[in-house]
Amino acid sequence: MLTLIKLLAKLKRYWVFLKEYLVILNSTALLNPSTAHLYDQSLSMAVVWDLQIADALNEDCAPHDYSPLLRLLNLSSLADRRCSCNLIFLNKLLSGFIDSSSFFAKINFKVPFRCTCNLYTFYILHCPTNYLKNEPINRMIKLANEDPSFLQ
């Protein structure tokens, strides 16, 4: 049983390394078209690796659905990690651990005139374009408004 736990720990470390490597390769493939074939090769290697892990652990995984493996190895997805990092950054910005007056100036607090049931802390300005709507500080504020546990 102990060897199985050690094997799972090694698999988990390798899995995290492989996913981080794919993120780096993806960013370089976007910047440099001559290295795009490396990303495709490593992506196919990751799919084969995922299928081998699923087979070794007797897990049924649909193609390109790795949520059972993520739960089994106690990993979070890249989207979940991005959301949590955005909320941590916004919390540190508001608490003063990060000193950036230019970011802090872009945050609009919602101050109601009377007691309302509206629980949103931040006011998001109307953005006529997707470029402004997807600005990092606007995405962070939107995540904070949607997360009920933020600032509590």
Indicate whether 36 pLDDT > 80: no
Indicate whether 126 pLDDT > 80: yes
Say yes or no: 89 and 117 in one domain: yes
Say yes or no: 64 and 121 in one domain: no
Q: What is the CA radius of gyration of the chain?
A: 21
- The predicted-structure confidence for 69-110, as pLDDT tens digits, reads as follows 677 777 777 788 888 888 888 888 888 888 888 888 888 777
Say yes or no: 34 and 86 in one domain: no
Q: Is 74 left (phi over 0), alpha (psi -120 to 50) or beta?
A: left
Rounding to the nearest 10 degrees, give the CA dihedral for residues 25, 27, 28, 31. 160
Share of the chain above pLDDT 70, in %: 47
Say yes or no: 107 and 132 in one domain: yes
Burial category of 140 from C-beta neighbours within 10 Å (exposed 0-12, middle 13-18, buried 19 and up): buried
pTM across the whole model: 0.53
Question: Under a CB-based contact definition with an 8 Å cutoff, are residues 122 and 146 in contact?
Answer: no
CA dist., res. 117 & res. 99, Å (int): 32
Q: Is residue 58 part of a domain?
A: yes
Quote the domain boundaries for residue 104: 79-146
Mean pLDDT for the chain? 70
Q: Which residue has the higher pLDDT, 53 or 142?
A: 142
Indicate whether 10 pLDDT > 50: yes
Say yes or no: 44 and 100 in one domain: no
Indicate whether 121 pLDDT > 70: yes
Say yes or no: 39 and 89 in one domain: no
CA dist., res. 75 & res. 47, Å (int): 17
